[in-house]
Structure 1
Amino acid sequence: MSKPPPIIAELGRPETPDETAARKAASSKAYRSSQTFRNLIAALLVTVAIVAVIIFAVPRGEPVEAAPLDVASIAEGVESTMESPVLVPELGDFWRANAAELQGGATVVWEVTLAPKADTERGFIKVAQAFDADSSWAPQVLNGTAPTDTVNIGGLEWDVFTPSSSDANANVSYAIGTQAGDDYILLYGSRSADSTAELAESLIPQIRTISEAS
């Protein structure tokens, strides 16, 4: 003898086949929805975990400081090429060299760009040695600026150049130059006259050597 269908409390009677099918369909839909939501949450948690591993696994050290430019080594190659001594500024604790190169053209120039090491100091000075040149070469570099005065530094007479506008002269606001045998030495940049003169003073022995070698 078959068992009579159970009475559903909400209905007060047994379910009809259609009501049973509808109830099961609704239950299945609710289950699938809950599973989709759970899967989404699980995927998000996995993603967050992977990102966290990447972030904490990557080394967080300070950037490696670039090796200082070996001006002396570069200068040796230039001396060999030009068969002549060249200036090698002493950097000491104040200066760092940002560039050092032999520039070709109508006048060949050995140039070293210096800037202060300290963050509290500003400006730059370019030390240029123009081979087989004289003071007439300097205005070509200084946008036509001619010398306006002379100054004695280390027993040598230096031409003084004061560009009227640093903006029109690649931020160059002051320059001094002197003859060294067949070459012309020019120090130009945005540092003060005193700072430029101090650098010039340190180059005097080398300038004399260049003069004697000519």
Structure 2
Amino acid sequence: MAKKTKAPAIVAELGRPETASETAARKAENSRLYKSRKTVNNLVFSLLVSFGLMLVIYFMMPQSTGDFDQRSVNVAEIAEQSGAGLNVDLAVPAVDEGWMAKSATLKHEDGFYVWRIHFTTADQAYASVTQLFTEDGEPVLEVPGVETYLNAEVLEALEPTGQESLAGTDWTLYDYPNRATDKSNIRFALSGAVGNDAVIVSGTDNAGTIRVLATQVMDSLAVSSDQATGGSAETTAKEAA
């Protein structure tokens, strides 16, 4: 008895059996799609392997923490170099043992200069000194834009909380002891005028420490002024106690 030949399967989309050319085309397309998917998968796998190797190499290498913890710049030297040619005394406070000056810079803004010193205190808190002045010695607070700069760039848009006299100067206080130190550089600040200059002393350490720093700032400016006139300055640090 002769073996019956199986009838070609009917393709639903066509409503009839595939022709030989259609079968060949379908198989070729399936082969192309398979190779394409395989290529993408291989590419993703290769990227993951490469990324993993980069992470391994990164964590195997010694990680430098920089020199910030040990850095302490010479403020007096920077002040002498930066202030050369300017008819102004730059504040160089003689800070207490354990303090580290992280940076001291003199920048020229629109119509005025800004001298800033950033410290790490003995209690590992932050403190800064900012001195604003004009090149010709005119009152800096009369320069357009200075008040805006002070409020936005130095005093973090804080509102004054009081007034006091310290080291022969009248200061405006900014007392915010509950501010988070990871979101602010000011818990306590003093803002005052020294001649025609503006001076702001601020930080995250306690108010007493910032007051002592303010007195040291005033002492340094008094010493500079007396040296220029041949006199001597009297230290007023006891007023901060």
Partners of 1:70 and 1:104 in 2: CA distance: 21
Distance apart, 1:123 and its partner CA: 1.0
TM-score (norm 2): 0.52
Normalising by the residue count of structure 1, what TM-score does the alignment of the two structures yield?
A: 0.58
Alignment of 1:95-114 (within 5 A): 95-106=99-110, 107-114=112-119
Q: Distance in 2 between matches of 1:95 and 1:76?
A: 20
Residue in 2 that maps onto 1:71: 75
Query: Are 1:91 and 2:95 an aligned pair?
Result: yes
Contact persistence 1:147–1:161 (CA under 8 A): yes
> Among residues 207, 211, 215, which one is paired with 1:197 in the alignment?
211
Q: Say if 1:113 and 1:67 are closer, same or farther in 2 by CA, change over 3 A.
A: closer
**Per-residue deviation, 1:110:** 0.5
Q: Distance in 2 between matches of 1:76 and 1:86?
A: 8
Deviations 1:148-167 (A, max 9, x none): 21111122211112358556
User: What is the total number of aligned residue pairs between the two structures?
Assistant: 147
| Contact 1:182–1:211 (Cα < 8 Å) also in 2 | no
Q: Could you say what secondary structure the match of 2:105 adopts?
A: strand
CA contact (8 A) 2:174 2:188 kept: yes
**In angstroms, what is the RMSD of aligned CA positions?**
3.0
Which of 1 and 2 has greater Rg?
A: 1
Unaligned runs of 5+ in 2: 1-66, 135-139, 229-241
In the other structure, the counterpart of 1:159 is: 172
Q: Deviations over 1:57-95 (max 9, x none)?
A: xxxxxx9x9564111110001221432110011134131
Letter in 2 for 1:206: S
Residues 72, 103 of structure 2: 8 Å contact kept: no
Gaps of 5+ in 1: 1-62
Identity of aligned residues (%): 22
